[in-house]
């Protein structure tokens, strides 16, 4: 390889201060996740509950047409905040969300640490928060596709299928609950993923951590609950804490008879500690050793 005769030429344009300087990071993160083997299968598989619940909403408005097929449909397909809560806090959806985190989040920071690319980011006019936002937005995108988007689609489809605003006037706060819970669960999972991703340079270890911390917390709850029969051990489980908060936000009976405030505190504390750790761990100054 030789230097071309054309030589170096100056660029004529002007560098801009962008409104969303983190967007290229997010765009690349999303595209590279879609390029991963089996991801598309998992992602579209995780949309199955959304499709099933959407069909349920349709049937709930056409009960007469389906009466011969479904036994006591009024009980089964009563679309109310409880129906939304069932979707958002279902075990299958939460499991699929964790699987999505494994695919899209494991390498977000660990790959940058492994390949020394933090120095490439931070030698640009990119602030640390913008870097984190760009990375977190990858997780936010995929989780919103499983929470916020289906939740709002359910709500609007219910109105469309019903052909009236009665559902909205009965539960005017429901869209806010959908937005609130979606934000809470996605922000928590984003920080959870980024924190674990910053712990190791090996994305496989991170993937195992993302998966095992979530499930181990649930198994731990099962073991302690089996021994002591005390519902407070439910607070050990990330899944149960999210389900408790979900029940509160959708104004439903809590699955466990413990205050949901504790669950809020636990989820908030984990998120806060993860954010503090990330800020300390990922340093722009480490660009020159």
Partner 1 sequence: MTIEVKDIHFSYGKVKALSGINLHLENGAVGLLGPNGAGKSTLLRIFLGFLVPDSGEGKILGYDIKSQQSHIRRYVGYMPEDDCFIPGMDAVTFTSYLGELSGMSRQEAMKRAHEVLFYVGLEEGRYRLVETYSLGMKQRLKLAQALVHDPKLLFLDEPTSSLDPQGRKETLELIKDISSKKDIQVLISSHILSDIESVCSHVVILNKGELAAQGEIDELKEIKYRLYEIKVKGESQGFLQKLKNIGCRIEETEDMLLKVYMLPEQSPQEIFKVALEEKVQVRHFIKSQTTLEDLFAKVVGVD
Q: Could you list the residues that contact partner 1 (CB under 8 A)? A: 1-4, 6-11, 13, 15-18, 21, 24-25, 28, 32, 35, 107, 111-112, 115-117, 119-127, 284-285, 287-289
> Shortest distance, CB of residue 99 to partner 1, whole angstroms?
20
> Shortest distance, CB of residue 43 to partner 1, whole angstroms?
18
Residue 151 burial by Cβ neighbours in a 10 Å radius (0-12, 13-18, 19+): buried
> Shortest distance, CB of residue 24 to partner 1, whole angstroms?
4
Question: CB-wise, 117 or 166, nearer to partner 1?
Answer: 117
> Shortest distance, CB of residue 283 to partner 1, whole angstroms?
8
* Residue 211, CA distances (Å) to 51, 101, 105, 107, 123 in order: 25, 9, 11, 14, 33
Question: CB-wise, 97 or 136, nearer to partner 1?
Answer: 136
Question: CB-wise, 10 or 75, nearer to partner 1?
Answer: 10
Question: CB-wise, 20 or 44, nearer to partner 1?
Answer: 20
> Shortest distance, CB of residue 284 to partner 1, whole angstroms?
5
Token pair of 38 as six digits: 């089996």
> Shortest distance, CB of residue 27 to partner 1, whole angstroms?
9
Question: CB-wise, 12 or 64, nearer to partner 1?
Answer: 12
Residue 277 burial by Cβ neighbours in a 10 Å radius (0-12, 13-18, 19+): middle
* Cβ atoms 176, 81 nearer than 8 A: no
Handedness of CA 90, 93, 95, 97 (dihedral sign): negative
* Cβ atoms 229, 61 nearer than 8 A: no
| Residue burial 80-113, b: 16+ Cβ < 10 Å; e: rest | bbebbbbbbbeeebbebbbbbbbbbbbbbbbbbb
Question: CB-wise, 15 or 227, nearer to partner 1?
Answer: 15
> Shortest distance, CB of residue 29 to partner 1, whole angstroms?
10
CA–CA separation, 247 and 268 (whole Å): 17
Question: CB-wise, 18 or 62, nearer to partner 1?
Answer: 18
CA–CA separation, 239 and 80 (whole Å): 23
Token pair of 260 as six digits: 């949901």
CA–CA separation, 278 and 265 (whole Å): 20
């Amino acid at each position: 390889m030789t230097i071309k005769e054309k030589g170096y030429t100056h660029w004529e344009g002007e560098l801009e201060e962008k409104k969303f300087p983190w967007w290229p990071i997010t765009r690349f993160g999303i595209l590279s996740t879609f390029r991963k083997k089996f991801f598309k299968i998992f992602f579209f598989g995780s949309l199955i509950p959304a499709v099933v619940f959407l069909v349920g909403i349709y049937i709930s408005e056409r009960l007469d047409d389906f009466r011969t097929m479904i036994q006591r449909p009024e009980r089964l397909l009563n679309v109310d905040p409880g129906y939304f809560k069932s979707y958002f806090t279902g075990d299958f959806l939460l499991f699929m969300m964790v699987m999505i985190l494994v695919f899209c989040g494991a390498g977000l920071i660990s790959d940058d640490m492994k390949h020394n690319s933090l120095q490439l980011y931070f030698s640009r006019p990119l602030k640390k928060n913008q870097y984190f936002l760009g990375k977190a937005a990858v997780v936010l995108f995929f989780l919103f596709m499983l929470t916020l988007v289906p939740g709002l689609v359910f709500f609007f489809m219910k109105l469309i299928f019903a052909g009236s605003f009665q559902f909205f006037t009965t539960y005017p706060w429901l869209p806010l609950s959908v937005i609130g819970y979606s934000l809470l669960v996605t922000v928590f999972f984003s920080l959870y993923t980024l924190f674990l991703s910053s712990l190791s340079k090996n994305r496989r270890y991170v993937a195992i951590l993302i998966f095992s911390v979530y499930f181990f917390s649930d198994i731990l709850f099962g073991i302690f609950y089996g021994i002591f029969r005390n519902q407070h051990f439910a607070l050990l489980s990330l899944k149960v804490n999210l389900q408790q908060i979900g029940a509160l936000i959708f104004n439903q009976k809590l699955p466990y008879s413990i205050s949901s405030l504790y669950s809020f505190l636990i989820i908030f504390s984990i998120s806060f500690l993860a954010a503090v750790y990330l800020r300390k761990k990922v340093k722009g100054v480490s660009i020159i050793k």
